[in-house]
Structure 1
């Protein structure tokens, strides 16, 4: 257990480094920017409340992702009994917030085009495949950390990740073929 004398400023800052990662993951789960923001905020509220019970050797990143996912499932359970309303959250895709790296102008252009293709292909995958790909490839969680977050065996994570990568690869080939056909027509 952490010391009960932990300063509030330390408590407030302990997971700030993961804010963007949590937000991207929340977008995958909620598919709406405002809901993702609310979910991340609620995650931090819960984490700060439980911070004093956290063991010193705990993996804070995996712990925060687990809290976020559990909060989302709690929200889904609450919604089952409430009336459903459809709400458009703008024109942005769920995966618009995914990071990309580029340096020169040509590289930036190619990287942007590739990122758009990856984002489009990723958005077409089922949510469970999006979730495991985001956690592994973008948030760089280990298989064991992902298993902890998803509350499933590591073997399930590995097989789901394999299927997700295969589906993403096929979608990217399809997008590449479509882009090639478009260029050929021009």
Structure 2
């Protein structure tokens, strides 16, 4: 039974090494495959960060340009997806900083938690796509969570990233990510209990 996990690990390492080599060589076929495989999840993640689909699609395109420009920086030691999400997150934060500076409404915190300043605009794509009452209730409760908790929960349970991968994406220690997930789940539980007690 020990041979199976080792085989899977070797396969994953081979895939990441292939991606790293392809990015260094600017392999357009590989890039097209990566876009096809990751685009939906990337746009979905950026929609959660920005609140606007059109803007998320623009940032996704910019993310792929950065992947092409900086592909040599991907070393292939970890999965590709967390590296991609980290680029997208940094672009979203940079964009928020530019917009806030342009309108001179506030200065951003130095820790990169710019999403704290974003208002929620209308129903999220998660809510629009929800096909069941439970999914709609979950989407509504997620929207009221602080953005840092919501992001950690989405990366963990929707995108199925490991704690280490989430830490890589958000640029925080694993202990901080664990805390955000724990607190996010506690806040989500409280939101459900409160709505259940009010009959909502």
TM-score between the two structures when normalised by the length of structure 1: 0.78
| C-alpha RMSD over aligned residues | 2.6
CA, structure 1 residues 56+158, in 2 after alignment: closer, same or farther (shift >3 Å)? closer
Partner of 1:29: 49
Structure 1 stretches of 5 or more lacking a match? 101-110
CA deviation profile, 1:85-104 (whole Å, cap 9, x unmatched):
9xx99843253367x7xxxx
Give the match for residue 11 of structure 1: 31
Distance 1:97 1:62, change over 3 A: farther
Deviations 1:6-33 (A, max 9, x none): 5311122224322222222112211112
- Say if 1:91 and 1:72 are closer, same or farther in 2 by CA, change over 3 A: closer
Contact 1:2 1:53 in 2 (8 A): no
Q: 2:127 aligns with which of 70, 73, 96?
A: 96
Q: CA deviation at 1:78?
A: 1.4
Q: Does structure 1 retain, via aligned residues, the 8 Å contact 2:48–2:124?
A: no
The counterpart of 2:152, out of the listed 118, 124, 132, is: 132
Given the alignment of the two structures, is residue 171 of structure 1 paired with residue 171 of structure 2, yes or no?
no
Partner of 1:80 in structure 2?
A: 100
Partner SS, residue 57 of structure 1: coil
Query: Quick check: 1:120 aligned with 2:140?
Result: yes
Number of aligned residues: 167
Give, in whole Å, the separation in 1 of the partners of 2:73 and 2:121. Answer: 39
Structure-2 change in CA distance of 1:25 and 1:19 (3 Å): same
Kept after mapping to 1: 8 A contact 2:59/2:92: yes
Stretches of 4+ aligned residues off by more than 4 angstroms:
3-6, 88-91
Higher relative contact order (Cα pairs below 8 Å, separated by 6+ residues): 1
Determine if the alignment matches structure 1 residue 158 to structure 2 residue 170. Answer: no
Which 5+ residue runs of structure 2 have no aligned equivalent? 1-19, 106-118
